[in-house]
Structure 1
Amino acid sequence: MLYAKIPIQWDRLLIALSLLLSTCNASGQITQQVDFRRPLETSQLREDFQRFRSALTENHPDLYRHRSQELVDHMLDSCQTSIVGPMDLIAFGNLVRFAVGAIECGHTSGSLPGELMEQYAALVPMFPLKLWFTGDRAFVLCSKEADAPVGSEILSIDSEPIKRIRQKLFHYLPSDGKIQTKKNATLNNDAFLFLYSFIYGEKTHFKIKLTMPDGQHREVTLKATHFENTQCPAYQTADNAKPLEINFTDSTSALLTIRTFSKDRISNAGQDFPVFLQTAFEQIGQRKTQHLLIDLRGNGGGDDVYGAMLYSYLTSKPFRYFSTLQSKSKPVMTPEDHPGLAVQQPANISFGGKVYMLIDGRTFSTAADFCAIARSNARGIFIGEETGGGYEGNNSGGTVRVDLPHSGIRVAVPTVRYSNAVTPGTEPGRGIIPDYPVSPSIWEILAKKDVQLQKALEIALHD
């Protein structure tokens, strides 16, 4: 379905790894372990990279959306000419990941298949601490090491400052344009453990400088461990919660939580998006709610039409949602190709009160599109962090997936260029910037204090 965006997010794959399920693929159980250090021949690497590049040039709707053709082509040429000898699977994967990151498209990906990532997690010891990155700093979120307790700040690893490590790893993560919050959220969802191992190589020990919770500086040496030993019971996500919820916080305020716009995920949870919205806004109207908080944190996107449908309840006038859509096969699309190009009509119930949007780096794809329309029409106050998806639009839609023949690396390439019907942004290549930037501290995360929601409620109370 063209208008069902499927966000290709490496962090979601890594979250799934925590389950450490049986390793299998579509053809059955995998019984042979992969030697990640086995070198691939130069000719094989060159063929795989050319196949990767062809998948981009033949299918991607706008490789040069955020960077010039000269820069992107030069980058791809440089990566290709750097293949001068054998490389192992991890090194070649790093090359592909670097190229994907340099394109600056959050819906393009190139990574090891899930079953191989599971094998890597089970076989290769990694950094032993789960970290929480905020800005240029990193803190211990989960630890089984007495010498590096929870709440400690990591200053350096093997003499390299954590700020420089973070900046280096960011080059290997995809994101729309110049958005950094999406990359930071990816690191916080276990990507750091894998990516650090991929880029810096396998290690048996780590020399760490840190500041203890009591303020004392220490230097410790920790032994590498397997991924399963780094799991963090102190940090729980809302994966078991319903995708759609409406709660009335007081007599004048309501909290509408939309965890996904994916029709499949919503229906698998026994919910129906159109029915839910209709019922929720009927209740909002009956209670004479004045302040509506919409929580889109962690919403990775889904069906385009659901984003437009949600906005239809916040306006009493017809509106535009997408201005243009185009692909390699169809440079100019019409409302017959995608309903989001038509003039959208307001819902039969219109909420006219104050709206407050909770956003973060995982607010991506369709969720970011919805936020862009709301921001462009001045229909809400935004609290939290810059969205992971772009204000002007993105490249997504139907996805072409290619398995590179020799390395087995899986490449996903979007095929549709989306342009949101928004007023010109002041910072091209950025997401929706919050009116009230709020990021939780490590202690607020550990104490499970939702400071972003608290801030939104505080603003609504005095608005």
Structure 2
Amino acid sequence: MNEKASTYLKLRLVLFASLLVLSERPLLSNDNINRSLSREQATEDLSIYFELIDKQHGNPYQFISRSAFLDALNTTIDNLPEQIEFKAFEVTLSKLNNLIRCGHTIINLDANLIKSASEANHFFPLPIALIKEQVYVDFEDSTIPHGAQLMAINGQEIGEVINELLLLTVTDGFSQAKPLRELETKFGYYFFLKYGAYNSFEVTYLTPKGIQTKTTISGVAGNQMLANNYYRPVYKTNERYYHFTHLDAIDSLQTLVLTLNTFQANPDWFAERLSALYDQESKKFEFDNLVIDLRNNEGGDRRLLTLLYQFVAGEHLVDPSNTSIRSNQIQFEDYLLGINGAVGSKEAIEKAETYLNQHFTYANEEGFESAEQNWYDTFDAGINWQGQTFNGQVYVLTSGKTFSAAADLARILAELDHVILVGEETGGAHIGRTANMLLNYDLPNTHTMVQIPVIYEEFVNANKQNEGRGTFPDFHITQTYPDLLAKKDSAFEFTLDLIQQKQLQGAN
């Protein structure tokens, strides 16, 4: 692995460390995780979880009614055994959390248990590709060949495995792509959560030539499992997948490719790099086409979004939303760990409450509304694009992992005449979502961390026909099996073909 890839991988592991969990099975030598919860303890944690959702979440009943969610909670409690193993409780809570269909409402296990899990060689090692309801190996360093179709793992039929694991994913509305990509890139984690830790895995598969084979493969450590899932899918060989943000040119197509794998990026750096490709004297760009790849971007800092919009649209971003909260107080302080990543100190709580009371001043039956609609004024980077608007053709690549602020950018750019979306339905709700201020709570018996988003935004200009779904592309292109075998990126190659066809038409 080269130095750039290594640096990128370390950063990714930091971001996704919270995904790692420990098993209660004897395979892991951690007595803390081997314990069981009493029915009373599990009931208390489930009840507190409901209170957090019911009183602090910005819009918990966008996709399920309160009565239906409360019924699901009560049914879950009624079905608890007298003793429930720790990991079984996490599966139960994840299924309940899935019903809210909010991608910013997240369940993570006790952080003190992460290190032991990351060191244990008990995770399924292979990245997978989900293509037309089939599961394929997207990996080369294994006795199971790249492109093999998985049929069973440890005797569990793979179709049943996928159906069970999808119930544990973090979803957003009814996007059909987000749960699949969530599972695809975290398969080893979800398999562990549902089925436990194993030293080895008995795998039944079909080779690319259709020969059914059975073999045993060894488990890997949690960090290696994450590295495989995020870094090792075969088509991700280009340097642009190793960085948070990357610019590279395809000179033969007069095309600039901007890969944004996150919005946790520096707007100053981005502005400088773009300026280097713009001639102030002639007021011309060094490229005619721009490809913005958002397929692995799960959001972050909106300041980069506002700068990008200026560059592509030539004007200040106005994206009005009706915005509300259910409570202008930070509640359940005894369980609060942090706010937006900061420690939940008294000072942080006061600052958060001051912000809520400043912006949400109109009381209604559900909580409080804000008179402010264009929230992007709040995310002004203080950096403005000084050159000409880029009026060439813009292609935006999307997938089910295009989420939060990245899904916002795809939705907003899709309204421009010179922008074409290619790929999948985004993983972020098109009409509205609950996000922004994020509170992290600790459940007292399991020390499960629950992330609760506080502010709900309903986008005024969004197409209401997409209610509950993500933003749809102009060209729906997902990875094909022939391209998987050929190690090609289907959506990216399709986009390059579009650019080439346009050039040929222009030449004629």
Question: Normalising by structure 1, what TM-score?
Answer: 0.81
Asked whether 1:424 is paired with 2:422, we answer no
Q: CA deviation at 1:416?
A: 0.9
Contact 1:254 1:291 in 2 (8 A): yes
Contact 2:318 2:374 in 1 (8 A): no
Quote the Cα distance in structure 2 between the aligned partners of 1:445 and 1:180.
21
Q: Which residue of the other structure, out of 365, 369, 390, is the alignment partner of 1:332?
A: 369
Deviations, residues 327-362 of structure 1 (Å, cap 9, x unaligned): 22232224499444899xx96532223221111122
Deviations, residues 262-319 of structure 1 (Å, cap 9, x unaligned): 2xx437xxx5344445555668951374432222221111123432332222224666
Aligned equivalent of 2:110: 113
Change (3 A) 1:448 1:109: same
Q: CA deviation at 1:37?
A: 3.0
Contact 1:376 1:422 in 2 (8 A): no
Q: CA deviation at 1:453?
A: 1.9
Asked whether 1:199 is paired with 2:194, we answer yes
Quote the Cα distance in structure 2 between the aligned partners of 1:379 and 1:74.
48
Q: Which residue of the other structure, out of 447, 450, 453, is the alignment partner of 2:489?
A: 450
Quote the Cα distance in structure 2 between the aligned partners of 1:460 and 1:439.
18
Q: CA deviation at 1:365?
A: 0.6
Aligned equivalent of 1:99: 96
Aligned equivalent of 2:70: 73
Quote the Cα distance in structure 2 between the aligned partners of 1:277 and 1:421.
31
Quote the Cα distance in structure 2 between the aligned partners of 1:39 and 1:163.
30
Quote the Cα distance in structure 2 between the aligned partners of 1:66 and 1:377.
29
Quote the Cα distance in structure 2 between the aligned partners of 1:253 and 1:112.
44
Residue 100 of structure 2 aligns with an amino acid whose one-letter code is I
Contact 1:46 1:80 in 2 (8 A): yes
Matched residue of 1:79: which SS? Answer: helix
Residue 66 of structure 1 aligns with an amino acid whose one-letter code is F
Change (3 A) 1:341 1:223: closer
Contact 2:253 2:499 in 1 (8 A): no
Q: Which residue of the other structure, out of 144, 153, 156, is the alignment partner of 2:152?
A: 156
Q: Which residue of the other structure, out of 393, 399, 411, is the alignment partner of 2:432?
A: 393
Aligned equivalent of 1:249: 251
Aligned equivalent of 1:323: 321
Q: CA deviation at 1:124?
A: 6.3
Quote the Cα distance in structure 2 between the aligned partners of 1:113 and 1:239.
30
Quote the Cα distance in structure 2 between the aligned partners of 1:379 and 1:70.
45
Quote the Cα distance in structure 1 between the aligned partners of 2:217 and 2:323.
51
Change (3 A) 1:243 1:60: same
Aligned equivalent of 1:300: 298
Q: Which consecutive residues of structure 2, in runs of 5 or more, have no partner in the other structure?
A: 1-11, 23-28, 329-359, 361-367, 503-508
Contact 2:250 2:256 in 1 (8 A): yes
Aligned alpha-carbon RMSD (Å): 3.5
Question: Normalising by structure 2, what TM-score?
Answer: 0.75
Change (3 A) 1:248 1:196: closer
Contact 2:403 2:428 in 1 (8 A): yes
Q: Which residue of the other structure, out of 142, 165, 169, is the alignment partner of 2:165?
A: 169
Quote the Cα distance in structure 1 between the aligned partners of 2:135 and 2:65.
33
Asked whether 1:460 is paired with 2:499, we answer yes
Q: Which consecutive residues of structure 1, in runs of 5 or more, have no partner in the other structure?
A: 1-11, 24-31
Matched residue of 2:369: which SS? Answer: coil
Deviations, residues 87-116 of structure 1 (Å, cap 9, x unaligned): 121011111111221110011101213442
Q: CA deviation at 1:173?
A: 0.6
Residue 180 of structure 1 aligns with an amino acid whose one-letter code is Q
Residue 216 of structure 2 aligns with an amino acid whose one-letter code is L
Aligned equivalent of 1:225: 219
Identity of aligned residues (%): 23
Q: Which residue of the other structure, out of 200, 203, 206, is the alignment partner of 1:211?
A: 206
Q: CA deviation at 1:402?
A: 0.6
Change (3 A) 1:18 1:175: closer
Change (3 A) 1:242 1:158: closer
Q: 1:59-70 counterparts in 2 under 5 A?
A: 59-70=56-67
Aligned residues, how many?
434
Q: CA deviation at 1:158?
A: 4.9
Aligned equivalent of 1:27: none
Change (3 A) 1:124 1:290: closer
Q: Which residue of the other structure, out of 267, 283, 286, is the alignment partner of 2:284?
A: 286
Contact 2:288 2:393 in 1 (8 A): yes
Contact 1:277 1:310 in 2 (8 A): no
Quote the Cα distance in structure 1 between the aligned partners of 2:453 and 2:279.
37
Deviations, residues 31-55 of structure 1 (Å, cap 9, x unaligned): x934433111222212211222222
Change (3 A) 1:124 1:76: farther
